Amino acid sequence: MYLHSILAGIIGGLSTTEIILIALVVLIFFGGKKIPELMKGIGKGVKGFKDGIKGLEDDINEPEKKAQDTEKGKTPQG
């Protein structure tokens, strides 16, 4: 959720010409064969980041959930 707003802020300030220019520079530096490997690595990094954020949110919300379960008469597990 937060990542989308950050990316929108970064990309929102770039024009189409600038994005094309950046893509060409990346293509020149890495070549056509390395780009899929680069994107795969970036994808794994983003997935790891999202998993970390979700885990952090779960840790933050866990005491709140335990308190709600206690109020409802349920015994907290864990």
Q: What is the pLDDT of residues 14-72, one digit of tens each?
A: 778 888 888 888 888 888 888 888 889 889 999 999 998 888 888 888 877 777 777 77
Query: What's the pTM value of the predicted model, to 2 decimals?
Result: 0.48
Q: Which residues of 43-67 are buried (b: 16+ CB within 10 A; e: fewer)?
A: eeeeeeeeeeeeeeeeeeeeeeeee
Q: How many CA atoms lie within 13 A of 13 on its CB side?
A: 5
Enumerate the H helices of 1-78 as residue ranges.
Answer: 2-12, 16-71
Per the listing, tokens 């990316």 go with 7
Q: Where are the domains of the chain?
A: 2-69
39 vs 4: CA distance, rounded Å: 18
